[in-house]
Structure 1
């Protein structure tokens, strides 16, 4: 729906569900603007978001609401590891409170290629309550075990300029594993 058309009283932005899809290179600038609006997320260059949307589109997702990108997750499969790494989760103000972060995570782990991973990994600083809440809730919903340990340390890796990032690992169970265990 064009942004200049008013919604009727019976329609509400909250009743509309965002459409999840793979990103395209042309989404790079809009993704960059979304991340910029979602402090305290680290802003990468617009070019980095363009590369993610183009080269890593199979392991990233955008959420659109009324033609606007309101959600973004960047991720990749870790080379030589049976793991899917989530780099960044951004949910714009217009889509907050809809459970969009979890919906995007679930959509990603269901994709071909990613669904073979046995663990989801991400890094989170201890003070990032929103991310801890998202990933703990996601782990509960999928029945995965969540563990964490310091990974990129403040002094050793960030020269004191950034808080320690904890590597969070969540076990993932494929449908085949669940069916085998149930048999």
Structure 2
């Protein structure tokens, strides 16, 4: 039996920051080890380069353990669209996803944003719960509608994508 004392336990701090170019690789690797849709490694580097103000990375002791990639659509400046959110499997259940989204909404880049949107497949109950939880946390609405039919995707295995629209945020 291994015993630990208070002196043996060190508190690990999670930091939420703007991604650096080098974080793109770690984001891709995190997705590669998950059930999330894998984009090209280039996409993650591109997000870190051109959309860093609307992307957030979570790190523990310098290791990337979560991220959110998002953008403000040019024709909808009051919306931040979450492209993807991922948390390392060993870190799930700790509220990191919520912290990432709250950090995103508090960014200067989102000062004129009143809605957070994301698409989620019907089988992705964890993401549905996350986005509904954010709405509840902020005492605002979460409207769910069909966004992209499964017929739009080249694979018969891809489900439809439901749009989660959370807001308005004040």
TM beyond 0.5? yes
Q: How does 1:52-71 map to 2 (within 5 A)?
A: 52-71=47-66
Give unmatched runs, 5+ long, in structure 1: 1-7, 175-183
Preserved CA contact (<8 Å) 1:142 1:172: no
1:24 aligns with 20
1:110 aligns with 106
Stretches of 4+ aligned residues off by more than 3 angstroms: none
Give unmatched runs, 5+ long, in structure 2: 1-6
1:151 aligns with 147
2:138 aligns with 142
Number of equivalenced pairs: 163
SS of 1:113's equivalent in the other structure is helix
**Cα deviation, residue 26, structure 1:** 1.4
2:43 aligns with 48
Preserved CA contact (<8 Å) 2:13 2:61: no
1:128 aligns with 124
1:86 aligns with 82
Q: 2:92 aligns with which of 77, 91, 96?
A: 96
Task: Tell me which protein shows more helix as a share of its residues.
Answer: 1
2:4 aligns with none
Q: 1:130-159: CA deviations, max 9, x gaps?
A: 00110111110011200111111012x114
What is the rounded CA distance, in whole Å, between the counterparts of 1:137 and 1:28 in structure 2?
27
What is the rounded CA distance, in whole Å, between the counterparts of 1:18 and 1:102 in structure 2?
13
**Cα deviation, residue 31, structure 1:** 1.0
RMSD value, Cα: 1.5
